[in-house]
Amino acid sequence: MPGKIDAYVDCAYSKFDSERACTYFGVQQIQTPDFFPILSIMPQRCMIYIKSHFPREQYEATFLSLWEWMFYKNVDISKPEKLAELFQSNGYSDSEVRKILAAASSPEFKQALTANTQIALDKGAYGAPWFWVRNAEGKEQPFFGSDRFAFMWMYLGLPFQDVAIVEKSRL
């Protein structure tokens, strides 16, 4: 039963990480929902469809909404009716929502998710967030974890301000 134990450990830890993230980002609530982890196959297939049929900005806004709805609004986005509400709230028409949800059950988008997953596994992915990054020289490397952004930015040669401990001022 390793899967269940791993999920419990992740959820038990998430409580602490969520509180820290709220403080860091200045928001009142980020919580691991009671229904987490979800079976995310349908939302993933829908997002593949959206990415291939809608502008990048719309895809990105919808992607962010998935996280907001699940972790801030406490909505189970694995449920088709809730996913439909999310899409409608992002400006998709009723007919577009029907097409998006239907695509999630189609062989084409089932295979697309399987192929994407296999590519990630072949590159060594073992969890999330997992990033496969190509720099300006065309070289590629993997990065795992939300605490690896500074490493990615260095690899990409991007200017950034790193986290630093500063001495308290004395009054």
> Where exactly are the structural domains of the chain?
10-122, 126-171
| pLDDT score of 8 | 44
| pLDDT score of 171 | 60
- List the structure tokens of 19: 């509180």
Please, are residues 140 and 85 in contact by the beta-carbon 8 Å criterion?
no
| Pairing of the two strands 130-134 and 140-144 | antiparallel
Q: Please, what are the averages of pLDDT over each run of 10 residues along the chain (171 residues)?
A: 45 74 76 85 98 98 94 93 98 98 97 96 89 96 89 94 80 60
10-122: CATH, from 3.40.30.10, 3.40.309.10, 3.90.180.10, 3.40.50.300 = 3.40.30.10
pTM of the full predicted structure? 0.77
> For residue 136, which of 150, 157, 159 has the smallest C-alpha distance?
157
What is the 3-state composition of the chain as percent helix, strand, coil, each rounded to the nearest 5?
55, 5, 35
| pLDDT score of 11 | 61
Q: Look up tokens 């059950």; give the residue.
A: 105
| pLDDT score of 3 | 45
